[in-house]
Amino acid sequence: AGENSGETLDDAMYYRNIEVEDLLDVKLNYFDSQVTTDQTGATLEKLVMAGDTTYDMFSLIQWNAAKYAYQNMYYNMKDAPYISFDAPWWNYDYMKEMTIGEDKLYCMVGDVHVDSTRCMNCVYYNKDMYNDYYGDGDYMYDVVLEGLWTFDLLQKYAGEVWMDVDGDNAMSIDDQLGYSLNDYNNVDGIMYACGVRATTRDENDIPVLALLSERGVDALQTTYDVFFNTVGGKGMGLLEYSSSEYEEDVMFRDKFGEGTTMFYFGFFYSAESLRDMDDAYGIIPYPKLDEDQENYYSIAHDIISIMTLPVNCTKVEVTSAVLEALAFLGYEDVLPAYYESLLKAKYVRDAKSAQMIEMIRENFITDIAYVYGDAFNQMGYACRRMIADKKDNLQAWYESKEKAALTAMQKLIEQFESVEN
């Protein structure tokens, strides 16, 4: 926002914003609240409660700000003028999953913000290591395209690639690893990658718990085994390492960058820290639960940015037009700058990775229970919670959470239904 830096992506956003100003004869005035990301929603709440109408639009963080949608803090965009919900620059299915009822839509997600793409989860693989063990570093792409990339195959590879470098006869951070993933945002994606949902919707668009199923049981057992019981696979829980989740993830990313891990579970934005990696690498989706699963699925890191108008916005018409123009030109100009010039051309080094990136973006999903974690007693975070508690029995874990989840969910439903705007 606000200046031309010489960086490809920054400049694309800068010129996009200038074009919107010229197109609509408006001036975009940016204000950085200087608060930490966990306070973005609370900052908006204070302004709305105080009747402050200074700001017309907010860029907020999903995990802590989405909840204000059912607290009557956001303007209902369902019938807002100019917004083309069926256009490719908006992810309508994602936005719809964040609300209840056909007549309400509060949080905007799409190419208005490049984070919609940057925060998608993915797997990086070391093509040079793959070539050393299996020949043809590009063949992993064919495995994916043939529908054979599963967690069983990941575990097989890990056992074959692991090398006890430090000679202690046990897996450690100093070894050559088959894969690494953290116990937080990366492990969240495993359940959804397996085609499992925490909720479905009934005929009235009301959420219904759906986690406890045969596939759900299999997916959570798979997560537990991938994290704790795989030779050559490293989850955070196996490390004798005490630090923050962020620092631990950086350690795993750096280890991959050094060429001593075959597969690294990360996000598209992780590539921004791999530009100096000597080994060739590729980007592929999370594995499937089994070969019969139709698609590979991706969720977004819950720090994804959402755009909202405050409920007391006094410039709904012009702000809606600005949102639409930002999203359209984000799709036309900013996304290609990130997607083509950076992510595909500089961060990854072959055409097939670009095909993988398209596949991941096309199968980008979320779940209302993942968006509003506490309102479903953490059912949407089942992978993360079960790993943290070292539990591998989904039915027992679910039954211990179900009553509170149903109570909290009903409260959420009633709150959404009571919101007047």
Instruction: Write out pLDDT tens, residues 52-111.
Output: 999 999 999 999 999 999 999 999 999 999 999 999 999 999 999 999 998 999 999 999
Q: Phi first, then psi: give them for residue 31, nearest 5 degrees.
A: -135, 120
**8 Å CB contact between 400 and 236:** no
| pLDDT tens, position by position, 117-132 | 899 999 999 999 999 9
Tokens of 413: 């439903």
**Mean of the pLDDT values across residues 343-351?**
65
pLDDT band, residue 398 (cuts 50/70/90) = very high
Helix (H) or strand (E) holding 154: helix 151-161
Label the pairing between strands 121-126 and 261-267: antiparallel
CA contacts within 13 A on the Cβ side of 303: 13
**Mean of the pLDDT values across residues 175-200?**
90
Q: Phi first, then psi: give them for residue 90, nearest 5 degrees.
A: -120, 145
**8 Å CB contact between 65 and 414:** no
Tokens of 161: 């690639």
Residues 97 and 366: their CA atoms lie apart, in Å, by: 7
Closest CA to 179 of 138, 149, 221: 149
Q: Phi first, then psi: give them for residue 190, nearest 5 degrees.
A: -65, -45
| pLDDT tens, position by position, 203-248 | 999 999 999 999 999 999 999 999 888 989 876 444 444 445 556 6
Helices (H), 275-390: 316-329, 335-336, 351-362, 368-371, 382-388
DSSP E strands in 204-346: the ranges are 207-209, 233-235, 261-267, 281-284, 305-308
Residues 333 and 11: their CA atoms lie apart, in Å, by: 10
Closest CA to 272 of 134, 119, 414: 119
Residues 365 and 116: their CA atoms lie apart, in Å, by: 11
What pLDDT is recorded for position 35? 83
Q: Percentages helix, strand, coil for the chain, rounded to the nearest 5?
A: 50, 10, 40
What pLDDT is recorded for position 241? 43
Tokens 């702000």, located at residue: 319
Q: Cα–Cα distances in Å, from 135 out to 28, 178, 216?
A: 53, 16, 35
Tokens of 399: 């039954």
What pLDDT is recorded for position 169? 85
Which position has the higher pLDDT, 339 or 404? 404
Which position has the higher pLDDT, 341 or 171? 171
pLDDT band, residue 329 (cuts 50/70/90) = very high
**8 Å CB contact between 288 and 123:** no
